[in-house]
Amino acid sequence: MDKIDLSEVCQNYRARVIRVTPLDDCWLLETNRGPKELHVWPRVDVMRWSFAWRERLARQGFRELERFIRTRDSKPYVMVGNQGVTMTDHFRRIESWEPRPATARQCGRVVAMMHLSQQESNLLTGADYLQQEKIKAESEWAHAKALAESYRSKYSKEKGEKRWVGSLLSPLLQRMERAAVLLGHESIPAGELTVSHRDLSSDNWGMVGGKLYLRGFFRPNLSVRQRDVAGFLRDAYLARRDLEEIDAFLDGYEEVKPLDYGEYTLLLAFMARPREVWRSVESYVKRVSENKEAPIEGIEQALRSQQSVDHLLRHIADRAERPRGEQIDEPL
């Protein structure tokens, strides 16, 4: 938890603080105006960007999210040295949301509205973040090639599990290469490279007063918005294996912001990275090289997950090939 003078910060707000409780990523304040949260932002530019998209989203009509409470001087944040501090309302009870198709469609609409709100900001540059993603993917691929070469030179004549793991290396490298290449595909429109959160997840959603509520993003990792959607859909499908939920989300998204072929390509590029398989194989190879026990159960489980991801990839690729607008149902 960041060390700041809480009493000095709280004096900037109209609320009278009764009790302060440190949480994992913020302070919980009991005040005469109800419970509040105090968040510290290491990056002031990200804080300003976050304030801007939250306000734009609220002006679009979606107010079920954490907005920054203004100070006595009507400022949306307080500066403490090189850091920014924001105050938001705290809800004591946020119920879990049920990812039914109808709810998933609403989530898609809200995410598209959020992305449009973020698109209006020029504080952060999406092209820079895509370049970072490309560099990371290429670096990971190069590391995997070196690891595979070393493993083959030592264990190419082995039998059993070591041989089986060796047989996975070529297709794994091909997938990693393909994912890296897709990130630079010519169909990706430069104008669509705007910044969003890298890790949108089910934890960012809840129900408050019977309404869908968007929360979090106080210390966000950032990337381009297509990674935002790709990660969310990938995790959702691995959790429930429901293509109807996937289509509902994308239908809702495209009601607000249609996706062109290049954006679908970028979605597929982020989904195509064989993350679990690579991590499990990398862990196995390292343990073998250190003469440690190296069970293969993790690799087997990762391969099963990859089969599900492949099914999702094919489904979204088919959707991308349809004429634009065909997959969107007219709202009732």
CATH number for position 67: 3.30.200.20
Q: Do 135 and 157 fall within a single domain?
A: yes
In percent, how much of the chain has pLDDT > 70?
97
Residue 18 covered by a domain: yes
* Burial group, residue 221, by CB count within 10 angstroms (0-12, 13-18, 19+): exposed
Q: What pLDDT, on the 0 to 100 scale, is given for residue 319? A: 96
Q: Do 209 and 65 fall within a single domain?
A: no
Residue 330 covered by a domain: no
The rounded distance, in Å, linking the Cα atoms of 224 and 198 is 7
Average pLDDT, the chain: 93
Residue 314 covered by a domain: yes
Domain boundary among 51, 67, 89: 89
Residue 328 covered by a domain: no
Q: Which residue has the tokens 């005469």?
A: 32
In percent, how much of the chain has pLDDT > 90?
87
Tally of domains in the chain:
2
Average pLDDT over residues 172-184: 95
Q: Do 257 and 141 fall within a single domain?
A: yes
The model's pLDDT over 297-311, given as tens digits with 9 standing for 90+, comes to 999 999 999 999 999
The model's pLDDT over 124-166, given as tens digits with 9 standing for 90+, comes to 999 999 999 999 999 999 999 999 999 999 998 999 999 999 9
Q: Do 148 and 76 fall within a single domain?
A: no
Residue 286 covered by a domain: yes
The rounded distance, in Å, linking the Cα atoms of 116 and 272 is 25
Q: Do 248 and 143 fall within a single domain?
A: yes
Q: Is the model's pLDDT at 172 over the cut of 80?
A: yes
Q: What pLDDT, on the 0 to 100 scale, is given for residue 4? A: 85
Q: Do 42 and 124 fall within a single domain?
A: no
Average pLDDT over residues 312-332: 72
Q: Do 85 and 109 fall within a single domain?
A: no
Q: Do 26 and 173 fall within a single domain?
A: no
Structural domain containing residue 192: 101-321
